Amino acid sequence: MQTVATTDSADTVDLGPASGLSCRECGERFALGPIFACEACFGPLEVAYDLPSGDAEELRKRIESGPENIWRYAPLLPVPADVASKPNLNPGFTKLVQADNLARELGVTGGLWVKDDSGNPTHSFKDRVVAQAIEAARAFGFTTLSCSSTGNLAGAVGAAAARAGFRSCVFIPHDLEQGKVVMAAVYGGELVGIEGNYDDVNRFCSELIGDPAGEGWGFVNVNLRPYYAEGSKTLAYEICEQLGWRLPDQIVIPIASGSQLTKIDKGLQELIKLGLVEDRPYKIFGAQAEGCSPVSVAFKAGHDVVRPQKPDTIAKSLAIGNPADGPYVLDICRRTGGAVEDVTDEEIVEAIKLLARTEGIFTETAGGTTLGVAKKLIEAGVIDPALTTVVVNTGDGLKTLDAVAPTTGMSAVIRPNLDSFREAGLV
């Protein structure tokens, strides 16, 4: 059944190649609009496209001559063709770092790369997804941007809204650490603390969407979620382009809601369909913290269903106990021959230090989780060290200093003279 429901704005919406929304469960189609759940079966909606047909070589050249940010892929994203001329933070095209020192340490011989998204404007991959949501918000005539957040997303929304000329009003649990509050509040939008936990914040936002007080508001991770989520596809595009338009053999991705992993897979599939990369097998691996490992537990048990957990881990940006895209993640990792694994908080901290010490990249706990899982799977022989491997680093260590602070400090304290230095035994 492929009936099309229309929204008021459907006639005037220009989101480039986006042709509508489709339900991932029942396939029902809907016109482009600020909706996120299927009216028929309540399944999640995702963006459907009329992707460019025609010569792959021409498309590749068009991309390569585009701007050095995600908008080079505008023909594959739910954004108008002139998106690059509008004010936004222009995230993306972050470095794909060839990690030879790390490869040596892990015994990887087939090539190891770190996709380093700490280079984005607010230093996490969130800038990619928020940038898509902004364009959807423009298309639907929203004037206020909002989200529920545990910190990082609040900053990404605040920054992007400021630059793009939107009002922003963002909701966080009231008891966040001061550092995260400052990072989120400095952009000058409204930052509202909710007396409750992240679930309470989420519930409140859902209520606000249906209320006159929330009219004209685009919640990037609620009613704009289908568009927002597409931003993660750009990680797949960039990795392949930066490898010389080639699929990696193996790619390790963190799992919070699971959206990023599913969209990276979607992006890889699109590149194959468009003829931009050669169609050959790749394996996707998902990374969780042991203290929030519902998908990993389900994968290992052979389940299709993800049983929710109460998170308890230092990897707070991955601490979603009931990940919406969990079942899709299981499906992708199984289909591609990959796996889902988890690591302890101690292994996360070790991995953060390993990456810093070998490649000079300081990642946050999510990146430590991803690298920790990569290391564990290499040691277990699940990731093949003779094949090309890409590890996705989604954020910046400056945002989670507390994770490494207890075990990171000075080698010695000395008096300002050579004798004291020699006594310290460092040379």
Is 81 one of the binding residues for a copy of itself (CB under 8 A)? Answer: no
72/227 Cα distance (integer angstroms): 17
Q: Closest CB to a copy of itself among 171 and 299? A: 171
- Residues in Cβ contact with 388 at an 8 Å cutoff, skipping those fewer than 6 apart: 110, 111, 112, 113, 243, 248, 249, 250
Q: Closest CB to a copy of itself among 301 and 418? A: 418
Q: Minimum CB separation from a copy of itself for residue 403, in Å?
A: 10
- Write the binding mask 34 to 73 for a copy of itself: x where contact by CB under 8 A, - elsewhere: ----------------------------------x-----
Q: Minimum CB separation from a copy of itself for residue 109, in Å?
A: 17
Beta strands per DSSP E along 242-358 = 250-254, 283-289, 339-343
Is 191 one of the binding residues for a copy of itself (CB under 8 A)? Answer: yes
Q: Closest CB to a copy of itself among 305 and 401? A: 401
Q: Closest CB to a copy of itself among 3 and 411? A: 411
Q: Minimum CB separation from a copy of itself for residue 172, in Å?
A: 8
190/187 Cα distance (integer angstroms): 9
What's the sign of the alpha-carbon dihedral 91, 96, 97, 99?
positive
- Identify whether the C-beta of residue 394 lies closer than 8 Å to the C-beta of residue 156: no
Q: Minimum CB separation from a copy of itself for residue 8, in Å?
A: 22
Q: Closest CB to a copy of itself among 39 and 207? A: 207
Q: Minimum CB separation from a copy of itself for residue 116, in Å?
A: 8
**For residue 54, what is the enclosing H or E element?**
none
Exposed/middle/buried for residue 407 (C-beta within 10 Å: 0-12, 13-18, 19+): exposed
Alpha helices for 169-313 (secondary structure H):
178-185, 198-209, 225-230, 233-242, 259-273, 294-301
Residues 242-301 that bind a copy of itself (CB under 8 A): none
Residues 374-403 that bind a copy of itself (CB under 8 A): 396-399, 401
- From candidates 48, 76, 79, 183, binder to a copy of itself by CB under 8 A: 183
Stretch that binds a copy of itself, among 35-43, 58-66, 197-205, 248-256 (CB under 8 A): 197-205
Stretch that binds a copy of itself, among 20-28, 228-236, 321-329, 411-419 (CB under 8 A): 411-419
Q: Closest CB to a copy of itself among 225 and 399? A: 399
Stretch that binds a copy of itself, among 72-80, 178-186, 248-256, 322-330 (CB under 8 A): 178-186
Dihedral angle, C-alpha 335, 379, 296, 24, nearest 10 ° = -30
Cα R_g (the chain), whole angstroms: 22
Stretch that binds a copy of itself, among 36-44, 93-101, 220-228, 277-285 (CB under 8 A): 93-101
Partners of residue 170 on adjacent β-strands: 147, 191
Q: Closest CB to a copy of itself among 15 and 404? A: 404
- From candidates 160, 306, 318, 366, binder to a copy of itself by CB under 8 A: 160
57/306 Cα distance (integer angstroms): 41
Is 356 one of the binding residues for a copy of itself (CB under 8 A)? Answer: yes
Is 13 one of the binding residues for a copy of itself (CB under 8 A)? Answer: no
391/396 Cα distance (integer angstroms): 14
62/306 Cα distance (integer angstroms): 41
